[in-house]
Amino acid sequence: MNDLRKDPVSGRWVIITRDYLLKRPEGEIQTFHENQLKTCPFCPGHEAMTPNEIWRWANPDGSWSVRVIPNKFPLLRIEGSPDRRGEGLFDHIAGIGAHEIIVETPEHLPQYELEDGEQMFRVLSAYKIRLQDLKNDIRLRYGLIFKNVGGEAGAQLAHPHAQLIAMPVIPMNVKVELVNCKKYYELKERCLFCDIISEELDKGKRIFAETEYYVAWAPYASRFPFETWIIPKDHSSCFTCTEENSLKDLGALLHRVLMGLSRALESPPFNYVLHTRPFSLSPRYKQTTIDEDFHWHIEIMPRLTKIAGFEWGSGFYINPTQPEEAAHVLREAMI
Amino acid sequence: MNDLRKDPVSGRWVIITRDYLLKRPEGEIQTFHENQLKTCPFCPGHEAMTPNEIWRWANPDGSWSVRVIPNKFPLLRIEGSPDRRGEGLFDHIAGIGAHEIIVETPEHLPQYELEDGEQMFRVLSAYKIRLQDLKNDIRLRYGLIFKNVGGEAGAQLAHPHAQLIAMPVIPMNVKVELVNCKKYYELKERCLFCDIISEELDKGKRIFAETEYYVAWAPYASRFPFETWIIPKDHSSCFTCTEENSLKDLGALLHRVLMGLSRALESPPFNYVLHTRPFSLSPRYKQTTIDEDFHWHIEIMPRLTKIAGFEWGSGFYINPTQPEEAAHVLREAMI
């Protein structure tokens, strides 16, 4: 069982595994090749190469469009109790949780070329169904969906897939967002994200796509060139509450945005993450206004820049592309 | 002039430059080669290739051992006023500050092989003198010393050098440390770092080097394999207050630690950062106990692992090496 350890100085949680990495890992990253089709564990016909399937989008002909499986090398494991305890002045939790793979399409294609918005809707449905299910495990506090595309973004297999990690603590980045949203709400009695969307829609220079239910924009203080956030226009703290017609709208938009990024930046490596409200809050957060003050969203981060000592040491980011310029380029690329 | 922009959701500051990066940068990284000697701007005899020198460790024969120069491509510039203002609900500051290069040796050698502890002491003296000087600029709130070694750690030139960025805000990572140290002090009336050192010295399993004034250890919740922190055993919030004999002791230890990492991990790419107290505090921090509750230290981060969507999305880190095991390996490597 891996350990979850908390650094008392920064408040960061770290998953300490027992793989004992001494040297730089080599040859781990798979880039797309036709000849992977025979060995790819995510391709149709190779279902036996993966652990037992958790969920699938089944088609009438017996095939699948999306498939969810446990990660063969999970960072957190489902069995066990959290074992929350102090080690001297340090905090420890056992590495329990879930680590699942969402195989996003049967097609072994370069990842950003998801077939269409309809397939993206099926993928988003898988995210929703898995989060809804894991929410019932009272040991778990948060479920994070994330996707790594391209070696520089940390992808290890070329077949399009996302991951879900459900964990017994609320991760720091989400906690910081929760705290800042709460502070803003206490001050203004309005949601911070709702105010940002309203200002961005008003100014228009950083928004580059808008649908019935969603907007996509380059945030004012984007960390990365062409960083993109997608958010529902109507207030909602909870991705899993999204209705089908809204999810279809999101699928179409996410597909268009990823195609736009791919076109504008020649298929860049990227990550995206889904920030929704926690499954449950620790006792001290119980009386919170979280459903009023938090707003779920997707953060897409093209990985064109390197992170060095300055960023690690300061928490600053250096972004060589003005968000207004990025929005302009993406607006053109999406037509 | 670059912009400093603050993200209201995360509290992160971002430096937005106007370089307009559209594609992945190419061929920027210089790895060590003998034939760079003719063109390296940091080598002796090429002083005219750099902007005007700010400081040097001068030798009696007219040569230099350490040299500080302005960065030719500064992220922040010294001229101008901070221009702190709101842009709608966002926060903006003009990109003023200082961006200096500390050329750590006249020798064009692979960086980790700093000649000896005595040279490291001269380098640390340069850090101290430059921070002391920049502290007098009342527009600036923080000075961060950092070093990138190896392409994977973001180094662009092979000649051994560190950087100093002085800025008009306190960076988030330092602010988080300040806040957590203050909270701990309010609770215990003791410095958090002093308590950590005392516990680590007591347990002994994560400490791998100790001198008259300093200890080096693998932190309980290390983010990176073989992450190492070095800290003065006696409480001090302020690196620039360090006396000469203590700085010599630190020079010798830092040299031994870097040599140990190099031996154990075959010259890994790494970053280190120096976290000392801010130059000045914003008005709301004025009555703080910062000199009692904060403790300066150096964080060394070997870069053996890749950071992917999970880390970006959560603020979690995944570390495949137990800190206790890392300490054991480094203890052996330093003999």
The shortest CB-CB distance from B11 to any of A176, A264, A314 is to A176
The pLDDT of residue B116 is 86
B273 in contact with chain A, both atoms CB, cutoff 8 A: yes
Which candidate, A4, A10, A115, places its Cα nearest to that of A66? A115
pLDDT tens digits, one per residue of A92-130: 999 999 999 999 999 988 766 677 899 999 999 999 999
CB-facing half-sphere around the CA of B232: CA atoms within 13 A:
24
A201 in contact with chain B, both atoms CB, cutoff 8 A: no
pLDDT tens digits, one per residue of A130-149: 999 999 999 999 999 999 99
Interface test mutation site (partner A, options B24, B206, B265, max chain A beta carbons within 10 A):
B24
pLDDT band at A47 (very low <50, low <70, confident <90, very high): very high
Calculate mean pLDDT across residues A88-92.
Answer: 91
Tens digit of pLDDT at every position of chain B (335 positions): 888 999 999 888 999 987 655 544 444 445 556 667 778 999 999 999 999 999 999 999 999 999 999 998 899 999 888 888 898 889 999 999 999 999 999 998 876 667 789 999 999 999 999 999 999 999 999 999 999 998 888 888 889 999 999 999 999 999 999 999 999 999 999 999 999 999 999 999 999 999 999 999 999 999 999 999 999 999 999 999 999 999 999 999 999 999 999 999 988 999 999 999 999 876 655 657 888 999 999 999 999 887 788 888 888 889 999 999 999 999 999 87
> Given an 8 Å threshold on Cβ–Cβ distance, is B221 in contact with A88?
no
> Given an 8 Å threshold on Cβ–Cβ distance, is A9 in contact with B88?
no
Parallel/antiparallel/unpaired status of strands A317-319 and B13-16: parallel
Distance (Å, rounded) from C-alpha B213 to C-alpha B173?
26
Alpha-carbon gap: A61 to the closest alpha carbon of chain B (Å): 34
> Given an 8 Å threshold on Cβ–Cβ distance, is A319 in contact with B8?
no
- The least confident of A23-32, A323-332, B251-260 is A23-32
Interface test mutation site (partner A, options B163, B220, B273, max chain A beta carbons within 10 A):
B220
- How long is chain B? 335
Q: Which helix (H) or strand (E) holds B184?
A: helix B172-188
Q: Which residues of B touch A217 (CB under 8 A)?
A: none
pLDDT band at A34 (very low <50, low <70, confident <90, very high): low
Q: Which residues of B touch A306 (CB under 8 A)?
A: 154
Q: Distance between terminal CA atoms of chain B?
A: 49
**Which residue has 């909270």 as its token pair?**
B183
Residue A276 in contact with residue A250, Cβ under 8 Å? no
Distance (Å, rounded) from C-alpha A10 to C-alpha B232?
19
pLDDT band at A167 (very low <50, low <70, confident <90, very high): very high
Question: Closest residue of A to B87, CA-based?
Answer: A220
Interface test mutation site (partner B, options A6, A12, A13, A16, max chain B beta carbons within 10 A):
A16
Q: Which residues of A touch B10 (CB under 8 A)?
A: 173, 176-177, 180
Distances (CA, A) of A113 to A66, A101, A105, A269, B310: 15, 18, 10, 13, 22
Q: Which of residues 132-191 of B touch A (CB under 8 A)?
A: 144, 146-148, 153-155, 163, 165, 167, 171-174, 176-177, 180-181, 184
Q: Which of residues 299-318 of A touch B (CB under 8 A)?
A: 299, 301, 304-310, 312-318
Q: Which residues of B touch A325 (CB under 8 A)?
A: 20
Amino acid at B14: V
Q: Residues A150, A154, A157, CA angle at the centre, nearest 5°?
A: 65
Helix (H/G/I), strand (E/B), else coil: B56: strand
B286 in contact with chain A, both atoms CB, cutoff 8 A: no
The pLDDT of residue B314 is 86
The shortest CB-CB distance from A313 to any of B87, B268, B273 is to B273
> Given an 8 Å threshold on Cβ–Cβ distance, is A199 in contact with B320?
no
Question: What are the backbone angles phi and psi of residue A149, rounded to the nearest 5°?
Answer: -125, 120
Helix, strand, coil percent content, chain B, rounded in steps of 5: 30, 25, 45
B46: annotated active-site residue: no
Topology annotation, domain A3-333: HIT family, subunit A (3.30.428)
Q: Which residues of B touch A89 (CB under 8 A)?
A: 195-196, 199
| Residue B34 tokens, joined | 């003998």
3-state SS record for B197-233 = HHHHHHHCCCEEEECCCEEEECCCCCCCCCCEEEEEC
Question: What are the backbone angles phi and psi of residue B207, rounded to the nearest 5°?
Answer: -80, 135
Q: pTM score, two decimals?
A: 0.92
The pLDDT of residue A39 is 85
Q: Which of residues 217-236 of A touch B (CB under 8 A)?
A: 219-223, 225
pLDDT tens digits, one per residue of A193-232: 999 999 999 999 999 999 999 999 999 999 999 999 999 9
The pLDDT of residue A26 is 44
Q: Which residues of A touch B127 (CB under 8 A)?
A: none
Residue A56 in contact with residue A64, Cβ under 8 Å? yes
pLDDT band at A282 (very low <50, low <70, confident <90, very high): low
Q: Distance between terminal CA atoms of chain A?
A: 49
Distance (Å, rounded) from C-alpha A39 to C-alpha B165?
49
Architecture of domain B3-10+29-333: 2-Layer Sandwich (3.30)
Q: Which residues of B touch A223 (CB under 8 A)?
A: 7, 12, 14
| Residue A160 tokens, joined | 């399009």
Q: Residues A29, A35, A36, CA angle at the centre, nearest 5°?
A: 45
B289 in contact with chain A, both atoms CB, cutoff 8 A: no
Alpha-carbon gap: A289 to the closest alpha carbon of chain B (Å): 16
Q: Which residues of A touch B177 (CB under 8 A)?
A: 9-10
Question: Closest residue of A to B193, CA-based?
Answer: A9
> Given an 8 Å threshold on Cβ–Cβ distance, is B322 in contact with A23?
no
Q: Which residues of A touch B173 (CB under 8 A)?
A: 10, 312-315
Q: Hey, where are the domains in chain B?
A: 3-10+29-333
> Given an 8 Å threshold on Cβ–Cβ distance, is A304 in contact with B176?
no
> Given an 8 Å threshold on Cβ–Cβ distance, is A273 in contact with B87?
no
Question: Closest residue of A to B20, CA-based?
Answer: A321
| Residue A128 tokens, joined | 């929703």
- How long is chain A? 335
pLDDT tens digits, one per residue of A60-69: 999 999 999 9
Amino acid at B152: E
Residue A61 burial (CB count, 10 A): 6
Distances (CA, A) of B290 to A8, B168, B177, B246, B284: 17, 19, 11, 22, 13
DSSP-derived secondary structure letter, B77: B
Angle at which helices A244-265 and A323-333 cross, to 10°: 100
| Residue B11 tokens, joined | 């509290």
The pLDDT of residue A286 is 60
What's the distance, CA B257 to chain centroid?
A: 15
The pLDDT of residue B302 is 93
- When comparing pLDDT for B101 and A289, which is higher? B101
**pLDDT over threshold 80, residue A19:** no
3-state SS record for chain A = CCEEEECCCCCCEEEECCCCCCCCCCCCCCCCCHHHCCCCCCCCCCHHHCCCCCEEEECCCCCEEEEEEECCCCCCECCCCCCCEEECCEEEEECECEEEEEECCCCCCCCCCCCCHHHHHHHHHHHHHHHHHHCCCCCCCEEEEEEEECHHHCCCCCCCEEEEEEECCCCHHHHHHHHHHHHHHHHHCCCHHHHHHHHHHHHCCCEEEECCCEEEECCCCCCCCCCEEEEECCCCCCHHHCCHHHHHHHHHHHHHHHHHHHHHHCCCCEEEEEECCCCCCCHHHCCCCHHHHCCCEEEEEECCCCCCHHHHHHCCEEECCCHHHHHHHHHHHCC
A74 in contact with chain B, both atoms CB, cutoff 8 A: no
Distance (Å, rounded) from C-alpha A245 to C-alpha A237?
18
The pLDDT of residue B257 is 96
**pLDDT over threshold 90, residue A312:** no
The pLDDT of residue B24 is 42
Q: For the purposes of burial, counting CB atoms within 10 Å of the CB of A36, is it exposed (0-12), middle (13-18) or buried (19 or more)?
A: middle
Distance (Å, rounded) from C-alpha B254 to C-alpha B124?
10
Question: Closest residue of B to A9, CA-based?
Answer: B177
Question: Active-site residue among A161, A275, A295, A297?
Answer: A161
Q: Which helix (H) or strand (E) holds B181?
A: helix B172-188
